Amino acid sequence: MALARALAPLIDLVFPPRCPLCGGALAGHGGLCAGCWGELAIPGQPACASCQRPFPGGTAEGLVCAPCLAHPPRHAGIAAATIYNAASRRLILSFKHGKRIAMAPLLGRLIAARLKSSGLHVDQHWLVVPVPLHRWRLWSRGFNQAALLAREVARHSGAQLLVDGLERHRRTPLLGDLGREARARVLAGAIRVHPRRAAGLKGASVLLVDDVLTSGATSDACIRALRRAGARQVAIACFARVLDEAEAHAQRPPPQDEALHEE
């Protein structure tokens, strides 16, 4: 850390700090400019008591949203750093498809900051597990974006990182064009607990980390695998959460938006 601080002026001289969204000058690396911070949609209260889906202002606390009433969730809560909109979309595309992995500390820090305000008290007793990629997609991309975020969340929360707690042993197509039931069929049996990690997951509190939470089909498959292995509870943490309410902040993204494709 001392060496990094000593070299910081030289690094800033060679690579001047820039906002990853607009390219504007910054005082230091690892953040956004004031204008771009204001473009992010940060979820808050009041919110669903089950999944933390934001409610309109004036809604009483302790209520459960309609989606949770229709399909009671298996998870123990959701901590989303942002609601998916144009700004969070650009960050995700730069990070995941633009291969700007240096953005992981910024995005992970924002996720970790949302944990307590979402009612999730993650500490050293929790395990942080990323949503897995199939080996072919991992090899083609070169990294698992969820694993990079999970590492940062674990570092900030003090929880234990279990980067290979889950594995996707069967390759599946992108799920963007499929309905809820079709996605569940495609993912059935595709994700499982790593055999060498099963014993450590029994009775554990697990924080499942991903970059974007869309329909929840992938996270549901992960939760089922973790619960079958004996996990006591599984909560979800993500950088961007897709809600119909996001239309209040930005135009609906196009149907083929690659930032939204569940993997």
* Tokens standing for residue 184: 């569940």
Q: Which residues contact 251 (CB under 8 A, 6 or more apart)?
A: 86
Distance CA 127, CA 163 (A): 9
Question: Burial, 90: exposed, middle or buried (Cβ in 10 Å; 0-12, 13-18, 19+)?
Answer: middle
110: its two tokens: 């924002």
Instruction: Return the domain boundaries, the chain.
Output: 1-32, 67-248
85-143 tens-digit pLDDT: 999 999 999 999 888 999 999 999 999 999 988 888 999 999 999 999 989 888 889 99
Q: Of 260 and 105, which is predicted with more confidence?
A: 105
pLDDT at 197: 94
Contact criterion met (CB below 8 Å) for 249 and 54: no
Ranking 75-79, 93-97, 193-197, 245-249 by mean pLDDT, the lowest is: 245-249
Q: What CA–CA distance (Å, rounded) separates 23 from 20?
A: 6
CA distance 57 to 23: 34
**Mean pLDDT, rounded, of the chain:** 84
Res. 36: pLDDT tops 70:
yes
Share of residues in the chain with pLDDT > 90 (%): 53
Phi, psi of 167 (to 5 degrees): -140, 145
Q: What share of the chain has pLDDT > 70, as a percent? A: 80
Per-residue model confidence (pLDDT) at position 180: 66
- What's residue 2's pLDDT? 55
Looking at 3.40.50.1980, 3.40.50.2020, 3.20.20.150, 3.40.720.10, the CATH number of the domain 67-248 comes to 3.40.50.2020
pTM: 0.86
Long-range contacts of 26-32, Cβ-Cβ distance < 8 Å, separation of 24 or more: 30/105, 30/106, 31/106, 32/106
CB within 8 Å of 131: residues ≥ 6 apart: 146, 166, 208, 209, 210, 218, 219, 222, 263
Across residues 17-22, what is the average pLDDT? 80
Q: How sure is the predictor about 251, in pLDDT bands with cuts at 50, 70 and 90?
A: very low
- Compute CA 3 distance to the chain's CA centroid, rounded to the nearest angstrom: 31
Helix 180-187 crosses helix 217-228 at what angle (to 10 degrees)?
Answer: 40
What are the angstrom distances between the C-alpha of 22 and each of 27, 44, 106, 243, 250? 14, 25, 15, 25, 17
For CA atoms 138, 141, 143, 146, give the dihedral sign: negative
For residue 18, which phi and psi values (nearest 5 degrees)? -130, 145
pLDDT in tens, 149-197: 999 999 999 999 999 999 998 877 666 565 666 776 777 788 999 999 9
- Residue owning tokens 């950088």: 239
